[in-house]
Chain A
Amino acid sequence: MKRRYRHLSAGAVSVALGAALWHVVRVRPTPSVSVASLVADALPASGVSHNVTAVLLNFRSYDTLLEVAVLLAAAVVALALRDEPSARSPAHVMYVALDAFVWRLAPLLVLVAAYLLWAGSTRPGGAFQAGSVLAGAAVLLRLSGLKVTAVDHRLASRGAMTFGLVMFLCVAIGTLLAGQALLEYPAKWAGALILLIEAALTISIGVVLYSLFDNAPQARVSDRESERQRER
């Protein structure tokens, strides 16, 4: 009885929300300002020729700065919740075909990431896409049992995680010291600064996403927990 009530009320709420959204999409309120044309007008001064990158890293770079901070916060919480390193046992089993494949694929993925980063200034691409490709490469290496030395190293990985945010903050403070508004790049340097920030972000995003994957606790009950439960 209680279950049916739950389904009915959930259905009613969802249908109401869906109908409201449907109505909004159908009516489609017209905005008084066209932000797309504002962006197009300001694009030459942004330092890049792709409009989404210009919005992400120049016009609304404050959002991106905070987003990187959110990523870092997620990674820090994940690190705090990880199993003890001894609990993880990545035993490397040799699979000839898998190893050969991964060894050839990994450098290619790094190359793809570098291209995506570079392409971001003129066409779709950028730090986030490049960072996710890097993280994907690291996950692939990890799943095939190979060691990702640079990321397994504690200090190096912590450094790489914060690198993007630190670089971003340095640029932000630098623009303030130069007498500009926060994150208002001087027109001459805008392109170089955006590429610099994006390169740092790529590394950080890659390492953060990989560490979120790598530090996930085991799904099975740890020995300590089962011992504790036996004692009860």
Chain B
Amino acid sequence: MSADRLYAYVGAVLVALALYAFLVHTHVLRRLLAFNVMGGGTFLILVGLAQDGRGPDPVPQALVLTGIVVAVSATALAIILLRRWFATSQTTSLPEDGSS
């Protein structure tokens, strides 16, 4: 098994772990972190699977680079929203569906 394939396997494990954390935790910051880890896993699968045994593949690399930049800015925006939410509501989790 090449190192590239190993990256893809690690990516699959990361996605599964992050999904679990995302579903279980209600703290919004934890959810945001879990979502970021999930994104990282996706990037690993994309790059690792594409260049396994074929050498570097620039198209997924460019895709992932674009994805990283968007993920960074979206995370920053999410943290800003989160801080605003905490300042106004004094809670760190969002209201459950059905409860008021």
Contacts and interface: CB of A to CB of B under 8 A. Distances in A.
A25 B87 CA distance: 43
A229 B48 CA distance: 52
A175 B100 CA distance: 54
A17 B8 CA distance: 14
Interface residues of B, number: 46
Interface of A is mostly: helix
A67 B16 contact: no
Interface in A40-62: 51-52, 54-56, 60
Interface residues of A, number: 53
A55 B62 contact: yes
Given A21-B45, A221-B90, 4 more contacts: A18-B15, A36-B55, A60-B62, A81-B81
Interface string B72-100: 11101101110110111010000000000
A217 B83 contact: yes
B33 interface: no
A143 B6 CA distance: 39
Nearest to B17: A14
A185 interface: no
A215 B49 CA distance: 38
A229 B54 CA distance: 61
Given A36-B55, A55-B62, A11 B87 contact: no
B73 A216 contact: no
A163 B85 CA distance: 31
Contacts of A132: 72
Interface string B1-26: 00001001101110111011001100
Nearest to B58: A51
